[in-house]
Amino acid sequence: MVSIPIAPRLAKLGLVKTVYLARHGETDWNLARRWQGSTDIPLNDVGRAQARALAERLRPHRIARVHASDLARAHETATIVAAELGAAFDGTSARFRERGFGVFEGLTREECEGRWPAEWQAYVDDFRNAPPDAEPAERVIERMRAGVSDLAAEGPTLVVSHGASIRMLIASLGGPPPAPILNAAIFRLRLEGAAIAEIIELA
């Protein structure tokens, strides 16, 4: 968790907004522990049930608007949540999509280690290291920050995104690298203007 106090003056000026950031529900590749990255894999039935449960966990937070990555697993999670909560679904954006994992995509961890041992070890040592043909960490962080910062302050907003992209955003704020993020995990962000001032994982 990274937590930075929010200046009361900004809150009074209406420059503070709340964004909830959630990972999509389960897919068959999640179940098989295959790297998905930018490969477009749909939710499975467990993932759809997780999306409905995600909506119930978010109900007390009065989500007004829902956004999503343009990949199917996040898009479907978001539309299920929006329908369950009666919130407006405001569409998808590539800025919230998963990091492209290059040569790791479609492989299990064991296959990555067997086929790309040096590259796999570099990734294990620091998840920000990019395997061959993967999207650089700096680019992921830049687009995620821009996407969150550009959201309109029209009540609490949900963004459905992806595990690695969320981890990189959190890591960019300082503190120890976060653990891998579970399907349907939720984080609450508070923004001061365009800056992320606080991020907390919700139980």
Dump pLDDT digits (tens) for 92-118.
Answer: 999 999 999 999 999 999 999 999 999
Catalytic residue, from 67, 75, 76, 98: name it. 98
Residue 57 has pLDDT above 70, yes or no: yes
Let me know if residue 125 belongs to a domain. Answer: no
Is residue 164 assigned to a domain? yes
Assess if residue 19 is contained within a domain: yes
Q: How many Å apart are CA 3 and CA 196, to the nearest integer? A: 10
| Cα angle value 22/110/123 (rounded, 5°) | 60
- The per-residue pLDDT for 5 is 41
**Which range is least confidently modeled, 2-11, 61-70, 105-114, 144-153?**
2-11
Looking at residue 174, what is its pLDDT?
82
Catalytic residue flag (residue 24):
yes
Percentage above 70 pLDDT, the chain: 92
Containing structural domain, residue 24: 2-100+135-202
In a domain, 158, yes or no: yes
Residue 126 included in any domain: no
Reported as a single tens digit per residue, the pLDDT across 15-25 is: 678 999 999 99
| Inside any domain, residue 188 | yes
* 3 state DSSP class of 86: coil
Task: Say which CATH number the domain at 176 has.
Answer: 3.40.50.1240
Q: How many domains does the chain have?
A: 1
Q: How far is CA 53 from CA 49, 81, 85, 183, 186, in A?
A: 6, 9, 11, 11, 12
Residue 15 is predicted with a pLDDT of 63
pLDDT computed for residue 198 by the predictor: 87
Q: Identify the bridge partners of residue 195 per DSSP, sorted by sequence position.
A: 192
Task: Judge whether 201 counts as a catalytic residue.
Answer: no
74 located within any domain = yes
Residue with tokens 């907003």: 157
Q: How confident is the model at residue 188 (pLDDT cuts 50, 70, 90)?
A: very high
- The closest of 2, 48, 40, 19 to 144, measured between CA atoms, is 19
Domain membership of residue 179 (yes or no) is yes
